[in-house]
Structure 1
Amino acid sequence: MDDRISELPDYILSDILTMLSMRDLLKTSILSKRWCKLWYLRRDLYFDVFNVLGSSEEELLQTGYLVDVLNTSYIPPGFKFYGVPTMETHINLDMSRDEFVNRVNQFVMNFQGEIIDSFVVNFYLDDEQSSTVDQWISFAIERGVGRIDLLLLGRPYNKPIGLATRRNPCKIDFGSIFLKSNASTLNHLRLQNCLALHPTNCDFTPFKNLRSLSLEESKLDETFMESLLSNCPRLEELCLTFCEFKSSMPEIVSSSLRHLKVIGCYFVSKYDHQVRVNLVLLDCLKLASLELDRLELTSSEDGFDTLNFNTPMLKSIIFSIPLNQDLNTYVALCATFFPQLEILHLTTYTMVTTSLKITQPIKHLKQLNLFIFVDSDILDDAEYDPLWFLNILQACPLLQKLSIMFTEPEFFENQNDVTRDVETFSHDEIKVIELGGCVGNWFEIEFVMNVLKYAHKLEHIVMSPYWREDDELDWKSNSVWFQSGRKRVSEKLQIEEVIGREKVVLK
């Protein structure tokens, strides 16, 4: 049989080889010197369980690299498990880790290519593999790599079997790496499950062209962050998620940073408890987007709450308001400290808001997403105004889209149909309103009726029973909506002969 494949030109064979897994790519090197030369042209190197150990989950389960484990969660002694136990697939590190490392090492040692664009490792590794990981980083940097992703939690199989306890994270020796190679081509770096410390023999000048840095579930110190920021003049994106600091969150000062995310960071107290740390000082003149757990307020000399933020160009912010904090304060601070703000994602609690008093409008806000945790007891409070979010429209004169999601909603029994006197107002910009987590409560209906009355350019308002606390979680709903809530809303709109009710969409 003729070898038709070998008759193909180099550029076609090279494209074919880029579609093979790293494991299969190594096998082609024994076919001919020509094929061996061609796979050196591969410039994007990706190593995970499927590229290195097996082509499918079924194959990995058969070989024992993956194992299925019955998950019934933790059950205290003396209690029975109720419900349906589920099977979870875990990585078997006792069998797979050494094999994974050896195969990646084999590839790296045999690779003769001079240039690579990206180098990605997605596998659970820890401090025992630190020196090996340093060698991989040096290998990539020596070949002018632009992107390095070390995803050392190995998701989605990040619950390893074979480890009695969680080990120390993989230590990255930047000092040793910088002495061996020039990292000036690197513009994107993402690290998971790493220990990142400031190098003792140099600074981060080799990262002078770094534009994006993401650190996830890693251990850091304040010196590392401050030195890195001061030596990365082109850094535009910084992400710190669930990182452990020694004591506190470092000051974020950068003349180039445009996007910042700080979520779930903490330090470990002397009592071995995790203590949440929050961003308290931010000086970034070009910052356009900011995502935080919550805004940390400080007291000014005259006793008022304030922010140590200098971000005049901020366009988008995501944060939550701590329990028992006043929403009015945060709205006023957003108006003062973020004068160019256009998009706001805000999580709050019903118990922290009585009535929103408009002291200063957020002049340029165009999109607002509200996540409201509903407390059933608050509706019995005579001072609580369940229609406070109507005032949001008055606080944001240029708002075009408003999304409100009630989490854990419930229908309040024995409620009377209340018609609340709302101060007359006019809104000429709002076009789309979405209400999630609806169950047919009277204040949902009153909100819709008032919006239809005062929002002159409204195109539609959607009422949906579905809600979720996080974009990565499944949607939930309360069956009350389907049993009676939707009908209740529809009948109320018909009885009142509300003008514009055709704009209401009931999911």
Structure 2
Amino acid sequence: MSGSSPTPNLDEGIKLKKVKMFDCTSQVPDLPDCVLSYIFTKLSIKDLLKTSILSKRWRNLWTLRRDLYFDVFNVLENTEEELIQKGYLIDVPFPTIYGSAMERTLNWDTSDLFVKRVDQFLKHSNATTIDSFLVNFYLGSQQQSTIDEWISFLIKRGIQRIDLLFSVTSLPYTLSTYLRRPCQFPLHLFSETTASTLKHLRLEYCLLFHPTNYDFTSFKNLSFLSLKTLRADASFIESLLSNCKQLEELHLIECDFESPILKIVSSSLCHLKVSCFFRYSILGKDVSLTLLDCLKLTSLEYRRQRGDRLGNMNFNTPMLNNVQLAVIYSGEHVDAFRLLATLPKLEILQLDFYSTVPTFVKITQRLEHLKELNLILHRPFDTPQKLDFDLSGILTILQACPLLQELSVMLTYPETMENQQVASDVEVFSHDEVKVIELRGCVGNWYEIEFAMNVIKYANKLERIVLSPYWRDIVESLDWSSDLAWFQNGRQRITEKFQSEELVGREKVVLI
């Protein structure tokens, strides 16, 4: 794919219009090629090719671009409206448990056109070094040979970062991704060189098998690896971790491994994200993380299947100080705290509860060093439509964290309870460190009022407690939801309740 030639005609969508214009580059000093290459990374492929008509010097400068990014918007059309007009983006019926719905997705017929344009771009590239390469598009086994050629091309040019996102994360989630046969990431091509410069590898929806007698020598510089919706053989992770001594960050998201037991043993790993939670059962089998032996690990995010019990896990992570963990079963918080109490450096903790927090169960395992705690209360998988949260159970957790300074609680899918219950008695306690508390997903229910009143009574150094109606089911999402009940009468109900009570410190309550 090497060699130089005039500016390519990348089909009708990227034909350059002949325009009459002055040589704008004569107005600015000459810039080094490395600087121009960086500037080019900010342009779409269409705009990048247009630079060739600015001057004689710029005619082939676009071919020197070292950071390559290919997705539906900078290869096919610039906007979603244009994609729909050209038929690249279509609405198709999608079956759900409630019937059928329409879903916007890419037209599979566009794959050949997308591949053709990317392939032509690479064939005309004059860059001797490629730093990063990203493809975000539906591609599968039909394009296997072309993808192999791309990877071979990148290896020869000292590639440092590869992102192959074949499930299209920039568009709405779709099951149609999984109806295609995935391609296989060509590990064997890396075995042909001992001078691999690859440091970052991110793969989505493909196959990854451990070649015979492959020792991952070519991955010796790899520091980041992310695998999502990917199928791999049982020996891959074990071999990878034992040979990649520079690997610092590993993500395993909804992956299908041959073995149901997952063991993570690494002398270099600092950050680990494991999600064995599948949205749909067709995506893979249950996988349980049973052993975590990583002496340098500082952060862990772990989402589990329902059959994966916390009591079966074994941690050897003395440096772990930031943990995100899902608590699936009712009463399992006791196992969670027993496990977390073994971590001598733990300072930041997020617990996702998919069950109600028990009210009267005393937590005996204290988290002595915890400073920040985020609790997210999801609707349990098998509960009725309305769920009456009892937040007094959170106060027992607060007592188990004597150095806690910040507490955030979020209720997902909150609903107004028509029959407000009478506040229950809470054990008298004292907390001398917590300063800020947030309660999200408020609608004005009795347990929200009770929780706020108890915190004000027993948190001696509390500076403010914020009550907010906003919540989100997926923490990483930028979309916040709220219930109109809060704005209609929920906020007013809480205000009237605090005004009627002779409660010292009620000025610390902040209502959003």
- Measured against the shorter chain, the TM-score band is 0.7 to 0.9
Whether the 8 Å contact between 2:231 and 2:256 is mirrored in structure 1 is: yes
Give the distance between the partners of 2:64 and 2:204, measured in 1 at CA. Answer: 28
SS at structure 1 position matched to 2:247: coil
- Aligned residue runs from structure 1 range 301-316, under 5 A: 305=311, 307-316=313-322
Of residues 11, 16, 24, the one that matches 2:31 is 11
Whether the 8 Å contact between 1:124 and 1:158 is mirrored in structure 2 is: no
So what's the TM-score if we normalise by structure 2? 0.85
Instruction: Give the 3 Å change call, closer, same or farther, for CA 104–164 of structure 1 in structure 2.
Output: closer
Of residues 464, 467, 473, the one that matches 2:471 is 467
**Aligned equivalent of 1:359:** 364
Residues 406-441 of structure 1 deviation map (CA, whole Å, 9 limit, x = unaligned):
223333344454352422x32221111011122333
Residues 193-213 of structure 1 deviation map (CA, whole Å, 9 limit, x = unaligned):
110111224221111111100
SS at structure 2 position matched to 1:420: coil
Of residues 61, 66, 80, the one that matches 2:84 is 61
Alpha-carbon deviation of 1:329?
A: 2.6
Of residues 210, 219, 225, the one that matches 2:222 is 210
Residues 352-375 of structure 1 deviation map (CA, whole Å, 9 limit, x = unaligned):
624241312101111111112467
Give the distance between the partners of 1:267 and 1:249, measured in 2 at CA. Answer: 20
What stretches of structure 1 of length at least 5 have no aligned partner?
299-304
Instruction: Give the 3 Å change call, closer, same or farther, for CA 20–444 of structure 1 in structure 2.
Output: closer
Alpha-carbon deviation of 1:386?
A: 4.8
- Aligned residue runs from structure 1 range 284-323, under 5 A: 284-294=294-304, 296-297=308-309, 305=311, 307-323=313-329
**Aligned equivalent of 1:498:** 503
What stretches of structure 2 of length at least 5 have no aligned partner?
1-19
Residue identity opposite 2:89 in structure 1 = L
Q: How many pairs are equivalent?
A: 484
So what's the TM-score if we normalise by structure 1? 0.86
Residue identity opposite 2:82 in structure 1 = E
Residue identity opposite 1:254 in structure 2 = S
Instruction: Give the 3 Å change call, closer, same or farther, for CA 325–278 of structure 1 in structure 2.
Output: farther
Of residues 221, 230, 244, the one that matches 2:242 is 230
Whether the 8 Å contact between 2:263 and 2:289 is mirrored in structure 1 is: yes
Alpha-carbon deviation of 1:39?
A: 2.1
**1:279 correspondence with 2:315:** no
Give the distance between the partners of 2:83 and 2:146, measured in 1 at CA. Answer: 24
**% identical equivalent positions:** 52
Residue identity opposite 1:258 in structure 2 = C
**1:176 correspondence with 2:176:** no
Residue identity opposite 1:292 in structure 2 = Y
Residues 17-45 of structure 1 deviation map (CA, whole Å, 9 limit, x = unaligned):
44432244346558876324422332111
Alpha-carbon deviation of 1:54?
A: 2.5
* More divergent stretch after superposition (450-459 vs 226-235): 450-459
Give the distance between the partners of 2:355 and 2:312, measured in 1 at CA. Answer: 23
- Aligned residue runs from structure 1 range 378-389, under 5 A: 386-389=391-394
Q: State the superposition RMSD in angstroms.
A: 3.3
* More divergent stretch after superposition (464-473 vs 104-113): 464-473
- Aligned residue runs from structure 1 range 23-102, under 5 A: 23-26=46-49, 34-67=57-90, 69=91, 73-74=95-96, 88-94=103-109, 96-102=110-116
Give the distance between the partners of 2:243 and 2:450, measured in 1 at CA. Answer: 55
Alpha-carbon deviation of 1:340?
A: 1.0
Whether the 8 Å contact between 1:246 and 1:268 is mirrored in structure 2 is: no
**Aligned equivalent of 1:108:** 122
* More divergent stretch after superposition (199-208 vs 413-422): 413-422
Residues 129-182 of structure 1 deviation map (CA, whole Å, 9 limit, x = unaligned):
122112212222221221111111223346789x79712211112113321x44
Residue identity opposite 2:239 in structure 1 = S
**Aligned equivalent of 1:301:** none
SS at structure 2 position matched to 1:276: coil
Whether the 8 Å contact between 1:268 and 1:275 is mirrored in structure 2 is: no
Of residues 256, 261, 265, the one that matches 2:268 is 256
SS at structure 1 position matched to 2:257: coil
Give the distance between the partners of 2:385 and 2:41, measured in 1 at CA. Answer: 60
Of residues 135, 140, 146, the one that matches 2:160 is 146
Whether the 8 Å contact between 1:361 and 1:395 is mirrored in structure 2 is: yes
SS at structure 1 position matched to 2:496: helix
Instruction: Give the 3 Å change call, closer, same or farther, for CA 3–434 of structure 1 in structure 2.
Output: same
Give the distance between the partners of 2:190 and 2:84, measured in 1 at CA. Answer: 37
Give the distance between the partners of 1:266 and 1:479, measured in 2 at CA. Answer: 32
Residue identity opposite 1:486 in structure 2 = R
Give the distance between the partners of 1:30 and 1:160, measured in 2 at CA. Answer: 40
Instruction: Give the 3 Å change call, closer, same or farther, for CA 359–35 of structure 1 in structure 2.
Output: same
Residue identity opposite 2:57 in structure 1 = R
Give the distance between the partners of 1:291 and 1:493, measured in 2 at CA. Answer: 38
**Aligned equivalent of 2:257:** 245
**1:404 correspondence with 2:419:** no
SS at structure 2 position matched to 1:102: helix
Whether the 8 Å contact between 2:298 and 2:319 is mirrored in structure 1 is: yes
Give the distance between the partners of 1:245 and 1:318, measured in 2 at CA. Answer: 22
Whether the 8 Å contact between 1:407 and 1:437 is mirrored in structure 2 is: yes
**Aligned equivalent of 1:118:** 132
Alpha-carbon deviation of 1:9?
A: 4.1
Give the distance between the partners of 2:205 and 2:263, measured in 1 at CA. Answer: 23
Whether the 8 Å contact between 1:397 and 1:429 is mirrored in structure 2 is: yes
**Aligned equivalent of 2:425:** 420
